[in-house]
């Protein structure tokens, strides 16, 4: 209770004192309260502080300005709100030990992976980091919670044979066009479903997609994809401007979930495991690097802000590593 009271006093004085003075204030108060019993008769809400919900709104607003997608914002909101509700404390009273315990219990109770727990840690770090930067708290309680070491398994790509099996397993010309567009362009599935017919430049075999954060970039597709796309569009008799629509009336724009479900079914027919849109993207990045495309160009092709992300996506072909070892080392 004493530490809580001293911290609250420090917070009140934060605007008038620097960090060295605040630390001295803490030492003085600790000595002054030595041997004094302090009990809390009733919960006292800070009169000049924003509540947890208000701070969450501030955090999400900041992330929206940074260009985070609606999907990311929804995940951030859920993750932080769940933590705050579980704590049952005002955000200023949440300590490092509280957060460590929360993450440990979350992993134990749900059997979550290290990757999930580290993602949560990063979100909490961003949340409390904002509160610290805006002087709502003195110091983020996440500072002393270090990055969680995670396993880095080699993620699979789709082989040339696998791509041919997927093409053979397509019983609709639309699905064949989707498989080829994903395989040859490396675009995100969210970018694919937002494409319209008018976005396609078939003469140059290119189109402009709207990527993460509302950024536009040019992507390219091969001749095979061009032919299958044109055949698909010629077979349609609807007026929907969307590039890909449902197979049955009222021919509505195909959504991300629809593409994912369709690819899983095609993968099962082709006897291939874990076929999903992102696997095509990883496959293209890996092949581009294996064939010698400069990593900066792969980064631009995929629409990554940071080149580290490109390296994470592009898994080096193990056979090429073996051949390089024999060539350069013996």
User: Which of 63, 188, 226, 282 is an active site residue?
Assistant: 188
Active site residue 313: yes
Residue with tokens 């397509």: 170
Is 64 tagged catalytic? no
**Catalytic residue among 174, 228, 281, 282, which?**
281
How many helices (DSSP H) and strands (DSSP E) are in the chain? 15, 3
Annotation marks residue 106 as catalytic: no
Radius of gyration of the chain (CA): 27
Please identify which of the residues 167, 212, 217, 236 carries the catalytic annotation.
Answer: 212
Active site residue 212: yes
What's the longest Cα–Cα distance across the chain?
86
Burial category of 59 from C-beta neighbours within 10 Å (exposed 0-12, middle 13-18, buried 19 and up): buried
Q: Which H or E element spans position 233?
A: helix 223-235
Q: State yes or no: is 276 an active-site residue.
A: no
Instruction: Identify the active-site residue in 278, 300, 322, 325.
Output: 278
| Residues whose CB falls within 8 Å of the CB of residue 159, separated by 6 or more in sequence, listed in order | none
How many Å apart are CA 264 and CA 23, to the nearest integer? Answer: 58
Respond yes or no: is residue 188 known to be catalytic: yes
**Residues that are catalytic:** 188, 212, 278, 281, 304, 313
């Amino acid at each position: 209770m004493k530490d809580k009271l001293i911290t609250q006093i420090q917070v009140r004085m934060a605007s008038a004192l620097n960090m060295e003075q605040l630390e001295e204030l803490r030492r003085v108060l600790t000595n002054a309260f030595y041997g004094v019993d302090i009990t809390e008769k009733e919960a006292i809400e800070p009169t000049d502080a924003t509540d947890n919900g208000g701070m969450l709104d501030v955090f999400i607003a900041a992330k929206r300005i940074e260009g985070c997608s609606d999907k990311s914002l929804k995940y951030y909101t859920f993750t932080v709100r769940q933590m705050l509700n579980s704590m049952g404390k005002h955000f200023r009273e949440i300590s490092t030990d509280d957060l460590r315990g929360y993450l440990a219990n979350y992993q134990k109770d749900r059997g979550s992976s290290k990757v999930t727990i580290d993602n949560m840690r990063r979100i909490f770090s961003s949340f409390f980091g904002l509160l610290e930067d805006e002087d709502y708290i003195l110091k983020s309680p996440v500072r002393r919670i270090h990055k969680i070491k995670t396993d880095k398994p080699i993620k699979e790509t789709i082989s040339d044979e696998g791509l041919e099996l997927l093409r053979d397993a397509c019983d609709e010309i639309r699905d064949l066009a989707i498989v080829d567009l994903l395989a040859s362009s490396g675009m995100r599935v969210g970018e694919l479903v937002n494409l319209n017919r008018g976005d396609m430049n078939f003469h140059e075999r290119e189109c402009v997609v709207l990527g993460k954060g509302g950024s536009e970039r040019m992507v390219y597709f091969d001749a095979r994809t061009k032919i299958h796309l044109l055949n698909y569009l010629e077979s349609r008799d609807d007026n929907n401007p969307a590039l890909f629509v449902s197979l049955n009336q009222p021919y509505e724009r195909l959504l991300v979930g629809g593409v994912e479900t369709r690819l899983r079914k095609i993968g099962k027919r082709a006897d291939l495991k874990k076929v999903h849109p992102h696997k095509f993207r990883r496959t293209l990045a890996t092949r581009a690097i294996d064939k010698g495309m400069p990593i900066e160009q792969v980064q631009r092709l995929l629409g990554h802000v940071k080149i580290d992300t490109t390296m994470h996506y592009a898994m080096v072909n193990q056979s090429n590593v073996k051949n390089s070892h024999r060539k350069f080392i013996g």
